[in-house]
Structure 1
Amino acid sequence: MAWEITTEELLVRYDSGERNFAGVKLIKTCGAIDLKGLNLQGITLRGADLTGADLTGADLTGADLTGAVLVETYLERATIRDANLYSANLHWCNLVEADLLRANLDHVNATSAFFCGAINIGGFEHTILAKTNFKDALIPNRNICRGGNLIWDTTMSDGTIVPGPQFGDGQGR
């Protein structure tokens, strides 16, 4: 069940020790959802709507983002280690130079997402990677082209584009 909260209220509650913000919808104040550079380690944003939020440089280590809506969210240079993004919507999400060590990215919609220069990407399974950009990311092609992923006009780390539609078969390229 969705409930609304302002960015300021979320930060006050987080700073006082609360971590569970499952199902929250962040309300825009002053025209933006600004969470740049914040330490939000261990936060639960399961099913939360963070559409358009700016989390550039934020630390989301150990965060639970299962099923979160991260459409057009800025996670540039964010630390997203050990986070669970299972079934999250990353459509048009900016993950440029993000650190995704041990992050669960299975079953996500990463259509038109930008992983350019991202590091420590372990791989995906049953993920939509249509028009997704991995240019200069540290991920082997075999970790993209496997596990039933939908690959369609996907830009690989070396800049080549894999046309589609095709499904990853576990063999890699």
Structure 2
Amino acid sequence: MAADQWSGGIQAREGQTWSWQKAGDFTVSPMLPANGPLLKALSVPTELALSADGALCGENGMGAYRVVPYASALPQEANILLPVGALQTSGRLPQAESVWVEVADANEYRAAAANPATDVLLWRVADGSGAQAVLEALDEGCPVPLAVAAPAETAAAFRNAWLAAGAQAVVIGG
């Protein structure tokens, strides 16, 4: 049943209070502990563009969404992009609401996906073999949202397949 086909009233069977929650809005109370990671994952935009300063920009239900490379991030940045090497060697992770980890191949993908600090993966694809590797990884299952960045020609050829396989977003020209 689709969400818009449902009608009726909500009944709390265990005495809870009900609050509707929006992806990206972490101010709702009460919030069940399990909902935080789910809402964080759902807040990742499905459309992202690469800006001139190297940031990824998009919108979600809460408004503008921006992911800034760690090297140029200011303290108030909510979402930062960290190279996988920095994730693996850093003793202390940057303070941010969301840590995006940049990978370039299947080995980096597996390492970053297994790291509990990873909130979102950004897989930069250079060619068709890299594009196919993304499909194989998505087929195995991805524990966090995955955005794919690729040159325009590669993105045009694989965009629909990536999205159908479960990619959260495709960044053209990344």
Q: Shared fold by TM > 0.5?
A: no
TM-score normalized by the length of structure 1: 0.26
Higher relative contact order (CA 8 A, sep 6+): 2
Quick check: which has more Rg, 1 or 2?
2
Higher helix fraction (1 or 2)? 2
> Normalized against structure 2, the TM-score is what?
0.26
